[in-house]
């Protein structure tokens, strides 16, 4: 009886703690949505309210119409999808090499180099990358952002996919080779269908990283037609005032696509994170 009571008290404490943690995590997004739905006078009220008295969509219509956020969303989608696809192609091939040829000295050296590159803060590479993009003549273009984002996500994507390749037995490849399938054919027809959860997980990581990135998008792009959504949000903050309603509405618009994608692909994302954790 005492053990059962202790177990129930432990479960109750865990549920209470998880509930408080959930509220702590959800409240900033809730407050962002509520503030976006408030008129300007309520946003600037001395005593804030948890729910708008006069519900309005004026902030959203202003952001999408007057401030041209439809163009910024399109630009972010082009850059994020391109970086995601490019990093997937490179990471799949690199992960396969890291998994199957890990005994080669060049592969070990490349693995170490990628690991070291993850220890370097991105801000230290801002000036060298800016000079490189300028010398290549690709500043003020989608290509500069795509290359920069792909460069930063490839190491972790490669490590994740390499772990997923390790969990696939070599006997599958050997059977495909006996059936007359080449190495690339084996990867495309046999291995990749098994690795769909891992590929989706890595693709989500690459997409979200490119979508949310601010620093390179702000430095590399100054033209409106190429500006992405994250740097555009800061223009609601002026030198002497802040358009809090527009800022919150723009933030909701920026978060919503990523939240919807993660919601629908959450099952694949969690399965991809767990792949390779248990071998044998």
User: What is the C-alpha separation between 19 and 94, in angstroms, rounded?
Assistant: 41
Q: Does 75 map to a domain? A: yes
Q: Does 5 map to a domain? A: no
Q: What is the pLDDT of residue 144?
A: 92
User: What is the C-alpha separation between 81 and 258, in angstroms, rounded?
Assistant: 12
Q: How many CB atoms lie within 10 A of CB 178?
A: 8
Q: Does 34 map to a domain? A: no
Is-contact 96 165, C-beta < 8 A? yes
Structure tokens at 246: 């527009």
Q: What is the pLDDT of residues 36-79, one digit of tens each?
A: 888 888 877 777 788 888 888 888 888 888 888 889 999 999 99
Domain count, the chain: 1
Q: Does 37 map to a domain? A: no
What residue spans of 170-243 are helical by DSSP H?
170-178, 183-186, 192-194, 196-212, 215-220, 229-233
| Mean local confidence (pLDDT), 99-123 | 83
Is-contact 170 102, C-beta < 8 A? no
User: What is the C-alpha separation between 22 and 181, in angstroms, rounded?
Assistant: 50
Instruction: Report the number of secondary-structure helices (H) and strands (E) in the chain.
Output: 15, 0
pLDDT value at 111 more than 90: no
Q: Does 41 map to a domain? A: no
Write out the residue range of the structural domain in which residue 107 sits. Answer: 62-274
> For residue 237, what are the β-bridge partners?
242
Q: Does 186 map to a domain? A: yes
Overall residue count recorded for the chain in this entry: 280
Is-contact 192 172, C-beta < 8 A? no
DSSP assigned state of 276: T
Q: What is the pLDDT of residue 240?
A: 74
The Cβ-side half-sphere exposure at 112, using a 13 Å CA radius, reads: 7
Q: How many CB atoms lie within 10 A of CB 151?
A: 16
Residue 106 zone, left/alpha/beta (φ > 0; ψ -120 to 50; rest): alpha
Q: Does 194 map to a domain? A: yes
Is-contact 254 94, C-beta < 8 A? no
> For residue 201, what are the β-bridge partners?
none
CATH number at residue 244: 1.10.3720.10
pLDDT value at 279 more than 50: no
User: What is the C-alpha separation between 74 and 248, in angstroms, rounded?
Assistant: 19
Phi, psi of 139 (to 5 degrees): -65, 160
The pTM is what?
0.83
Q: What is the pLDDT of residues 222-267, one digit of tens each?
A: 888 899 999 988 888 776 778 888 888 888 988 888 888 877 776 6
User: What is the C-alpha separation between 257 and 41, in angstroms, rounded?
Assistant: 29
69-100 and 244-264 helices, crossing angle to 10°: 40
Supply the mean pLDDT for the chain. 84
Structure tokens at 19: 């509930």
């Amino acid at each position: 009886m005492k053990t059962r009571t202790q177990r129930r008290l432990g479960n109750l404490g865990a549920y209470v703690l998880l509930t408080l943690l959930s509220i702590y995590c959800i409240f900033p997004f809730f407050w962002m949505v509520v503030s976006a739905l408030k008129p300007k006078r309520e946003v600037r009220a001395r005593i804030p309210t948890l729910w708008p008295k006069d519900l309005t969509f004026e902030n959203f219509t202003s952001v999408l119409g007057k401030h041209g956020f439809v163009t910024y969303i399109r630009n972010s989608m082009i850059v994020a999808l391109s970086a995601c696809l490019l990093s997937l192609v490179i990471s799949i091939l690199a992960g396969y090499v890291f998994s199957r040829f890990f005994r080669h000295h060049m592969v070990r050296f490349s693995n170490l180099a990628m690991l070291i590159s993850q220890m370097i803060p991105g801000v230290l590479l801002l000036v060298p990358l800016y000079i490189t993009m300028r010398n290549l003549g690709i500043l003020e273009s989608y290509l500069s952002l795509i290359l920069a984002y792909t460069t930063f996500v490839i190491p972790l994507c490669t490590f994740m996919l390499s772990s997923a390749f390790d969990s696939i037995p070599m006997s599958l490849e050997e059977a495909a080779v006996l059936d007359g399938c080449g190495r690339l054919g084996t990867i495309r027809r046999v291995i990749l269908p098994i690795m769909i959860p891992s590929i989706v997980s890595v693709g989500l990581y690459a997409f979200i990283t490119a979508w949310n990135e601010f620093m390179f998008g702000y430095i590399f792009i100054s033209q409106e037609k190429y500006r992405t959504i994250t740097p555009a949000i800061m223009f609601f903050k002026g030198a002497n005032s802040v358009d809090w309603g527009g800022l919150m509405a723009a933030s909701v618009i920026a978060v919503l696509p990523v939240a919807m994608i993660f919601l629908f692909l959450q099952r694949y994302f969690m399965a991809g994170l767990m792949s390779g954790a248990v071998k044998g």
